Structure 1
Amino acid sequence: MNPAPSIVFFTTASGAGYGLLFWLGLLRAFGLTPTSPAFGLTALVLALLLITAGLLSSLKHLGRPERAWRALSQWRSSWLSREGVAAILTYVPALLFGLGLLTGNGALIAVMGVLAAAGAVVTTWCTGMIYASLKPVRQWHQPMVPWGYLLFGAFCGAALLAALAAPWGQANLPAVLAALLGGGAIALKRAYWDAIDAPKPADAPSIESATGLGRIGRTRPLDPPHTEQNWLLREMGFRVARAHRAKLRRLTLGGFAIATVLALAALPLPGAAAALALLPAAAVALAAMLVERWLMFAEATHTVTLFYTGEG
């Protein structure tokens, strides 16, 4: 699939934003983050900026962005619609959470922090299910895909929260969370790549099953259906070279590993010194996520390509 920059940015920025909102809302509700209003509001504003920038970026991928509101009515059957509804609803407790931080209302902070965290989880899950529900794309129709969205978002969110909390000397908990989630991200991504690299099962779609000619043996098209590139081939038949794919996979895992090591290295350090390790950790985690998101699209193949190449 063609890795559209707007969607790559959307899934990275909104994932990190919802991850930061989740950890901020949950940990602040239980008094496990700095209680300074400046810290809470800074972290919340950053989370909402990332979420909003990602959502606005996703609209650029639509043919008619001005009609995006119509998708909200299809929440009963569409994961895209559910994502939009959940994203809008999550703004309500998030903004009330901010009001609680601003006024020092402990009850409002606790209740709205938990609700905002829950909204972040639901929205991120819906985003992952948009792709996992697409049966024609075998690399996306995997049970690990929505869990990966949650894990990667939580990893980047924890790294960002740790970097923000370092000047207040309370970065250890989010740093530990970032390190644990970074290790989990490496393990899940390796398992995912093993799954999509495995030979396709015998009952997977093929040109033989598509044409009904499988009984007579191997089938191939005599001539291509088009003499030049068309929209379907550009969007659905994008291919990434094997050498580039291997290099980008190493960059992804290397970025996750570096962010994890930096988060662990910051644990014994005091506030300002810890920030020198945690700020690069957050930056590297986000950069690795950009590469991982690009690869998720670039490695995906739609079964419509069977019509053109005989390979799905």
Structure 2
Amino acid sequence: MHPAPSIIAFTVFSGIGFGLLTVLGFGKPDVSGFTAFVFFFIAYLFAVGGLISSTFHLGNPRRALKAFSQWKSSWLSREGCLSVAALMVMGVYAIGVVFLNTRWTLLGLLGSGLCLATVFATSMIYAQIKTVPRWSNWTTPVLFLLYAITGGAFMAGQTSIAAPMLLVLGAFQCATWIIGDKQFAASGSTIESATGLGHMGKVRMFEAPHSSKNYLMKEMVHVVGRKHALTLRIIGVLFLSLFPYLLLVMPPFYHLISLVALLLHIIGALTLRWLFFAEAEHTVGLYYGKR
């Protein structure tokens, strides 16, 4: 699929923001006052900024509020409702930590749960799409949650958590590719099943369905060459996981080094999130001879 910059920014930065709020809800780091205010401000900046960016790829952003009304059937709507609930609960929790030097533990845990539920709902927007077999499996929600928790721990300065999580995230990202690369073939979708002509024998495309590009070809049949995809995978994992891990564990440790490691992690996350969308093979591509 053709990835819009806004949807990449949304899924990466909102995930990190809600991940940071999750860690803060568990009482990490143990700070209060102005220091805690800075952490919460950054978390809300990432979470809310990411959510706002998600409206940029809507056909009519003015109708974004209507998305909240379909929570019974739409994961997009559930994401919106959960995100508002999470931000409100964590806002009250932040008031206690910042201004009253008090931690309402149960409220923090509730807020953390809502933050993780928000990230899960975001992942299910894509995992529910049966016509994109690469996404439609259990690895998608796990991957989104790992990105959020790792990024959140990183942003919170919890090196003891972030360092091993970086390796777990990198390993699971590789496992996701191994599993995902087999999903389209395993789904059984072919040009024969797409056209309904399989009973007549082998089907091949005689002529393109359209004489010029249309919406489907632009948005749903985006193709990344295998050579380029492999290069981006290697670069992405190195920036996402290995390089930041080495910077965190190799002495001496400085805050500037930690900042560089965080920036590398974010660059890797943006790269691989672009690849997450660009590599997704929609079954409509069968009609255009793209499989």
After TM superposition, the structure 1 = structure 2 runs for residues 6-45 of structure 1, keeping only pairs within 5 Å, are 6-26=6-26, 28=27, 32-45=28-41
5+ residue gaps, structure 1, are 163-173
> Which residue of the partner structure matches residue 159 of structure 2?
175
Secondary structure class of the residue paired with 2:231: helix
Q: Return the offset for 1:251.
A: 1.1
Q: Return the offset for 1:240.
A: 1.1
One-letter amino acid of the counterpart of residue 9, structure 2: F
Q: For 2:290 and 2:154, how far apart are their aligned partners in 1?
A: 44
Q: Return the offset for 1:275.
A: 0.8
1:250-305 CA distance string (max 9 Å, x none) = 11110111111222236xx5xxx531221111111111100111000000011111
After TM superposition, the structure 1 = structure 2 runs for residues 42-53 of structure 1, keeping only pairs within 5 Å, are 42-53=38-49
Q: For 2:209 and 2:32, how far apart are their aligned partners in 1?
A: 64
> Which residue of the partner structure matches residue 258 of structure 1?
243
> What count of residue pairs does the alignment treat as equivalent?
290
> Which residue of the partner structure matches residue 82 of structure 2?
86
Structure-2-length-normalised TM-score: 0.95
Report if the CA contact (8 A) 1:155-1:182 is conserved.
yes
Deviates most, 189-198 or 54-63? 189-198
Report if the CA contact (8 A) 1:15-1:153 is conserved.
yes
5+ residue gaps, structure 2, are none
> Which residue of the partner structure matches residue 294 of structure 1?
274
After TM superposition, the structure 1 = structure 2 runs for residues 119-138 of structure 1, keeping only pairs within 5 Å, are 119-138=114-133
One-letter amino acid of the counterpart of residue 258, structure 1: F
> Which residue of the partner structure matches residue 223 of structure 2?
239
After TM superposition, the structure 1 = structure 2 runs for residues 187-198 of structure 1, keeping only pairs within 5 Å, are 187-198=171-182
Report if the CA contact (8 A) 1:207-1:310 is conserved.
no
Q: For 1:18 and 1:147, how far apart are their aligned partners in 2?
A: 15
**Does 1:106 pair with 2:91?**
no
1:57-83 CA distance string (max 9 Å, x none) = 000111111111111111111100000
Q: For 1:86 and 1:186, how far apart are their aligned partners in 2?
A: 28
One-letter amino acid of the counterpart of residue 118, structure 1: G
Q: Return the offset for 1:236.
A: 0.2
**Does 1:274 pair with 2:254?**
yes
**Does 1:304 pair with 2:284?**
yes
Q: Return the offset for 1:200.
A: 4.3
Structure-1-length-normalised TM-score: 0.89
Q: Return the offset for 1:105.
A: 4.4
Secondary structure class of the residue paired with 1:60: helix
After TM superposition, the structure 1 = structure 2 runs for residues 44-63 of structure 1, keeping only pairs within 5 Å, are 44-63=40-59
> Which residue of the partner structure matches residue 72 of structure 2?
76
Secondary structure class of the residue paired with 1:98: helix
Q: Aligned in 2, Cα 1:97/1:226: closer, same or farther, shift over 3 Å? A: same
1:113-144 CA distance string (max 9 Å, x none) = 22221111010000001100100001111210
**Percent of pairs identical after alignment?**
36
Q: For 1:250 and 1:202, how far apart are their aligned partners in 2?
A: 25
Q: For 2:273 and 2:184, how far apart are their aligned partners in 1?
A: 23
Q: Return the offset for 1:229.
A: 0.8
> Which residue of the partner structure matches residue 263 of structure 2?
283
Secondary structure class of the residue paired with 1:43: helix
Q: For 1:283 and 1:257, how far apart are their aligned partners in 2?
A: 13
> Which residue of the partner structure matches residue 143 of structure 2?
148
Q: Return the offset for 1:107.
A: 4.4
Q: Return the offset for 1:112.
A: 2.9
One-letter amino acid of the counterpart of residue 250, structure 2: A
